[in-house]
Amino acid sequence: MAGAGYKLFVSGDVLTAAQVNTYLQQQVTMVFANSTARTTALSGVLAEGMMSYLQDTNAVEVYNGSSWVNVGNSGDITGVTAGTGLSGGGTSGDVTLSIASAQSDLVIKGFEEDVNVVASAATGTINFDVATASVWYYTSNATANHTLNFRYDGSNTLSSKLAVGDAITLVWLNTNGSTAYYPNVIQIDGSAVTPKVPAAISAGNASAIDAYVFTIIKTAATPTYTVLETQTKFA
């Protein structure tokens, strides 16, 4: 029977039919065209531990004493269907899903963003790491005008993460007390940029939270950017 283990034959041993069936026939991986052919061939001789390969499904299966089960736990997924807004999918092999090239009325529900809340006062140069969050909020009153340096993180530039034609929108929330300050220098990866604004920004607002929204568009690989900035007072 399958599962008899291993037998060491030595010179002079008589090889019996039972030994051929037990140690060879029942303990090899048998190849069949399909499960029907396997059932026919093994009728009456099935034994726990038998293994087979089915050519039609490329499946390796083992008989567990009551049924044939797949080796490797392949699961029961038979296909991947592209839903609304997606393309791709398939019923065999490696499949991929992609966002459809043109979408209208695409609704995203329950979307949220991380906010990096810092109990510090804005001053000096603040490295705005977009890998940490897209919204940064300094909750203590600013003590001086300051520089915002947008980068991906301490080891990677923002440029390395943006292809030409990519854009990212970031929010800086600056708290002011009775004396107002604002980010008077804007940098990307340590290099100064001049944002385009709807109206000149030359000061912050006293006793308020100023929200600065920056949309950074990479327009060339050199790198070159178009930066759009707005300022809104909340008090």
- Domain ranges within the chain, ordered by starting residue: 17-70, 115-234
Distance in angstroms (rounded) separating the CA atoms of residues 37 and 30: 11
Q: Three-class SS of residue 161?
A: helix
> Could you give the angle at the alpha carbon of 168 between the alpha carbons of 166 and 172, nearest 5°?
160
The pLDDT assigned to 4 comes to 64
> Could you give the angle at the alpha carbon of 158 between the alpha carbons of 106 and 96, nearest 5°?
40
3-state helix, strand, coil in the chain (%, to 5): 10, 40, 50
Q: Which long-range contacts (CB under 8 A, 24 or more apart) does 53-60 make?
A: 53/29, 55/31, 60/29
What DSSP line would sit under 15-58, residue for residue? --HHHIIIIIGGGSEEEESSHHHHHHHTTTT--TT-EEEETTTT
Distance in angstroms (rounded) separating the CA atoms of residues 98 and 104: 16
89, β-bridge pairs: 81
CATH code, 17-70? 3.40.1620.70
In this structure, what token pair is assigned to residue 75? 């699961």
Tens of pLDDT along the chain (235 residues) come to 555 666 777 898 888 888 877 777 767 788 889 999 999 988 888 888 888 989 998 889 999 989 999 887 556 677 888 887 788 888 877 888 887 666 556 666 677 889 999 999 999 999 999 999 999 999 999 999 999 999 999 999 999 999 999 999 999 999 999 999 999 999 999 999 999 999 999 999 999 999 999 999 999 999 999 999 999 999 9
The pLDDT assigned to 2 comes to 53
Distance in angstroms (rounded) separating the CA atoms of residues 41 and 25: 12
Distance in angstroms (rounded) separating the CA atoms of residues 112 and 169: 14
The pLDDT assigned to 48 comes to 87
**pTM to 2 decimal places:** 0.59
The pLDDT assigned to 5 comes to 66
